[in-house]
Structure 1
């Protein structure tokens, strides 16, 4: 499937809503380690990583990006899940825990710089690589620059003080701007799951394909037993896939194969959708019926299904 944007060009995406929770206190790493799927306690200052909040039965609450700072953990979540996750974490902070929550959402904004030439054409400073972030002072403004776009596409995410929007406009105001509709098309093409669509308590992180955000060696955390059992016995009953459609359909449309229901469309933009399909009935390359449309099952870049290889 052709990519929705020409990545030879550099693009700017100002995140329309940016939610950031700071986790502070001596016990912050232990606390988040016990609350989410990834190994937090082994991370060092200057790293970023993804982790999943799950409930006691291993069902998904949210996929978060965490920045490890000297005195805190910055947790980036979707705006429509921030209040819920704040309350979720707060209920597990006991009187003797040295953990504090702070909402930084009103104080910071973020932009994504996307493209294969963004580094050589638009960033003239030392840059992070891999799972690293760096603090950069540009025109007196302190920026947090991470080597990720949230979509497994080349580029960087830049977090900056909300009061310094003018500096950001001066730095990159001439770049082509990605609209929210275009970003949604990119998200679906890449297979990045979203809260209230692919990320709900109807599914678990293994079904979603978020193996990147799960540690199977870290020990106990909320929902750990269920996720470990699913992994050990390869018990993932449904998996998230990209669906190429021959005509537009709406999210929520039932997906069938030879007259049998195999899943449901969770997101769609144009002729590209995401949907969960039953593992035993549909795999990569399968042709499915999506309402009145014909769909082809494809593997998007962002998600993986580990031991479920399927056809090449």
Structure 2
């Protein structure tokens, strides 16, 4: 018999976790996903309904009493362990190279929906009163036009306008989260810190190891959001994002896969990554590894540093017109 905890819509209250502290002082609409458990599975209850999303068929490791609130030990939700059990092959630096299903995953990305564990993507948090002006001057996008809850693609360039990296930005109330290529993560942190002058009120923090990052890609990506009760984000423009919570832990969902194909991105804590991963799979997404993603990236024309993005080309020559503001000062 399943134990169902209360499921309800709630106003998002600001968290003070590593990636959201000082960033969410305003209220946001939030869906709170309660856990439900049975003797054989762990799941999430969809908001506003009695439907359940089964989070897996792994044998439950603990006997539950009806009056108890289930709080599994961290190992039960460890994403690395869950993915390993699926037969994933990891690279030496811990990247999920393949689930040994590359052909099926690519077909799903084209015709249905795939989910990619992309936590190797760098995540840099920029805070301080001058952060918007600072990033406006350091990249090609017009950050001064962006409001809380909006985002964009942008390009980091050299002093001569040559490309360094194609990045994505989420502008929050008191911070900006930058998503950058794995190979550029450390060098971009160093570059940003280099150009922070004495009077600048800007701080740069690498939060990559404190968070996880998933990407949904494919024409049926929105159906996964429907199943999980995240449909409020679907009609938002590209780059937009919303904050949600799972048992009080923040999850941020943004519009866009990073490719030409439709999709969504998830940034979440280490505590909830395993739960959300299994929920997405049980909502119909096919897991995809880095090898298949690399093929998809090339097919859909997204340039990457060290490959198509080099010091020989500027952003216009690389075809990244959508990242460049021609009118910003």
The bucket for the TM-score relative to the shorter chain is 0.5 to 0.7
Give the alignment partner of residue 193 of structure 1, picking from 290, 296, 303. 303
Aligned pair in 2 of structure 1 residues 63, 16: CA closer, same or farther (>3 Å)?
same
- 1:123 match: 228
Query: Partners in 2 of 1:19 and 1:117 — Cα distance?
Result: 26
User: Higher strand share goes to which structure?
Assistant: 1
1:35-184 to 2 correspondences below 5 Å: 35-121=138-224, 122-125=227-230, 126-128=232-234, 129-131=236-238, 132-174=240-282, 175-184=285-294
C-alpha separation in 2, matches of 1:9 and 1:186: 14
Separation of aligned partners in 2, 1:186 and 1:5: 10
Alpha carbons 2:149, 2:171 under 8 Å: kept: yes
Q: Structure 2: give runs of 5+ residues left out of the alignment.
A: 1-104
Higher relative CO (CA 8 A, sep ≥ 6), structure 1 or 2? 2
What CA distance in whole angstroms lies between the structure 2 residues aligned with 1:50 and 1:59? Answer: 16
Residue of structure 2 equivalent to 1:24: 127
Partners in 2 of 1:168 and 1:209 — Cα distance?
A: 35
CA contact (8 A) 1:18 1:105 kept: yes
Report if the CA contact (8 A) 1:18-1:108 is conserved.
no
Contact 2:219 2:262 in 1 (8 A): yes
- Matched-pair contact (CA < 8 Å) for 2:218–2:262: yes
Name the SS of the counterpart of 1:56 in structure 2: coil
Q: Secondary structure of the residue that 1:44 maps to in structure 2?
A: coil
Report the secondary structure of 1:207's partner residue: coil
Q: What count of residue pairs does the alignment treat as equivalent?
A: 217
Gaps of at least 5 residues in structure 1 are 220-312
Is the 2:252–2:266 contact (alpha carbons within 8 Å) kept by the matching residues of 1?
yes
Aligned partner of residue 317 in structure 2, secondary structure: helix
Shift of the alpha carbon at 1:4? Answer: 4.8
Superimposed CA distance per residue, residues 273-295 of structure 1 (whole angstroms, 9 cap, x where no aligned partner):
xxxxxxxxxxxxxxxxxxxxxxx
How many Å separate the matches in 1 of 2:276 and 2:176? 24
Query: Once superposed, what is the RMSD of the aligned Cα atoms?
Result: 1.7
